[in-house]
Chains A and B, each alone.
Chain A
Amino acid sequence: MVNLLPIATTVLAALLSIEPLHIGGYAALTPAFTLMATYHWTIYRPDLLPAPSLFMIGTAQDLLSGGLPGVTAVTLLLARAIVLTHRHYFIDRLFPFVWAGFTLLTGVAMLFLWALHSLLAAEFLDLREPVFHAVLTISVFPVASFLLGRSQRALIGAD
């Protein structure tokens, strides 16, 4: 049962991403919580957050947020694939190193999403908001990482 923790926290992250906070301008800048959960679990327990579950969560998030279905799913799946091939660099490393890895991943994800949406809209979209969004995501990551790490240690441990 506790093995469902990665999926449960990623679902929670997806719900948090669309949670209205009634703060002016927040909706557009909401941190990418789902990306944080994907990064964390792909490094520490990729077996418990398999690609199909990530696909389902990403698609549900798109359907609920009014976005184009498939966009979040493809982003999370690619992020998972990238992290999976590099996860040995991050295991048993100090947090700043893990954070630096997340910073790189967020940057790549932001550029990918911007390019994809620009392509779909057939025009270059404004890059300022995505950049703020990425900065906010990177700044919030330590808190998410701490909470996910704590819950992991308390409930399921390492692979």
Chain B
Amino acid sequence: MRIPQARRAAIERISFPLLIVISAVMIIVGKADQVAFQSLRTAVMDAAAPALDMLSRPAAFVDAAADRAWGIIAVYRENARLAEENERLLGWQRLALRLSAENAQLHDLSKLVSEPSTSFVTARVIADSGGAYARSVMVNAGRDNGVARGQAAMTGEGLVGRVSEVGSRAARILLITDLNSRVPVIVEGTRQRAILAGDNSTRPSLRYVDAGTAIRIGDRIVTSGQGGVFPPGLPVGIVASVDGETVRVEPYAALSRVDYLRLVDYGLADALPIPLSIATRGGKRADSGAAVLPPRR
């Protein structure tokens, strides 16, 4: 079917400005209201998930094969390293067992309500944000698999982000390095609370730190549990640089090359007072500071 040249030019003249205007309106609406495109987003995500899953398999296969080949080459050195690490971890295990027993006793003594049980779903990353202005990944598990908004996304090393959108078979994880990510954290071993704010760089920064607080390079940063999005104590990263008022944190998890994620349900989803995407917008966190108790069992 051939459209005549003159008609084609007319269509072009009309459609171009119209589409530019529609795009501009979409940008403004999307910026003003984060949830405006949520249902469209999850619908497109669900529709594309099978294709993205298929497309990401070759890359995942090559990655796994390269890892395996490298593993064979490095097997002796790796073995020695693991033996040494095992030795060290056995020491930690003994300590953990002792502390766990002590903790149970103290819980008994203080009549503390125990934490809700946790469950998790392991999902594979099938798409990333592919650009310099956003840090998020899509995984091949959704509502059908028990994924819910607000769940923590972890690797074995530490916190990666949180589930920001859920379709029936795919979900989006907003990484802690994203410009819009705000996570209430605490400097371990102190009572210093702060907000870990992403800025699209590889090292998010600590904001709202009390003046005069001594934060040193190497300090461990864990979630504080404030606001009820994450439970307290999830490992996030370590302080990598302190430059005047700017404190930057190196995440424990290698965020730029995650392939599998654990989406952990800490049973806190009901504790979210307002939609997450609004609750965590830049600095305007609706954090009343009120303590949220886990549900009684």
**Chain A residues in the interface with B (C-beta under 8 A):** 15-30, 47, 50-52, 55, 58-60, 63-71, 73-74, 77-78, 81, 113, 116-117, 120-121, 125-126, 129-130, 133
Please report the number of residue pairs spanning A and B whose Cβ atoms sit closer than 8 angstroms: 157
* Bound-state Cα–Cα, A29 to B254, Å: 16
Cβ-defined contact, A19 with B56, below 8 A: yes
* Bound-state Cα–Cα, A64 to B31, Å: 16
Cβ-defined contact, A69 with B133, below 8 A: no
* Bound-state Cα–Cα, A125 to B199, Å: 9
How many residues of B sit at the interface, in one of the four size bands? 35 or more
Cβ-defined contact, B256 with A70, below 8 A: no
How far, in Å, is B240 (CB) from chain A's closest CB?
16
Assess whether B223 is interfacial by the CB under 8 Å rule: no
Q: Which residue of A lies closest to B67 (CB)?
A: A22
Assess whether B83 is interfacial by the CB under 8 Å rule: no
Given A27-B129, A50-B12, A63-B44, the answer on whether A20 and B200 have CB atoms closer than 8 Å is no
User: Which 6 pairs show the lowest CB-CB distances between chains A and B?
Assistant: A70-B26, A66-B136, A74-B23, A70-B27, A70-B23, A27-B128
Cβ-defined contact, B133 with A50, below 8 A: no
**Chain B residues in the interface with A (C-beta under 8 A):** 3, 8, 11-12, 15-16, 19-20, 22-27, 30-31, 37, 40-41, 44-45, 48, 51-52, 55-56, 59-60, 63, 125-138, 164-165, 172, 174, 179, 199-202, 254, 256-257, 259
Query: 18 new A-B pairs (CB below 8 Å) besides A27-B129, A65-B130, A81-B16?
Result: A16-B55, A18-B128, A20-B259, A24-B254, A28-B135, A50-B11, A55-B19, A55-B22, A63-B40, A66-B138, A70-B23, A70-B30, A77-B16, A117-B133, A120-B31, A121-B179, A133-B131, A133-B132
> Of B31, B45, B259, which contacts A63 at CB under 8 A?
B45
Given A64-B138, A126-B201, the answer on whether A19 and B127 have CB atoms closer than 8 Å is yes
Q: In the assembled complex, which residues on chain B have CB atoms less than 8 Å from the CB atom of A29?
A: 132
Cβ-defined contact, B132 with A28, below 8 A: yes
Q: In the assembled complex, which residues on chain A have CB atoms less than 8 Å from the CB atom of B257?
A: 22-24, 26
Given A64-B138, A66-B134, the answer on whether A25 and B256 have CB atoms closer than 8 Å is yes
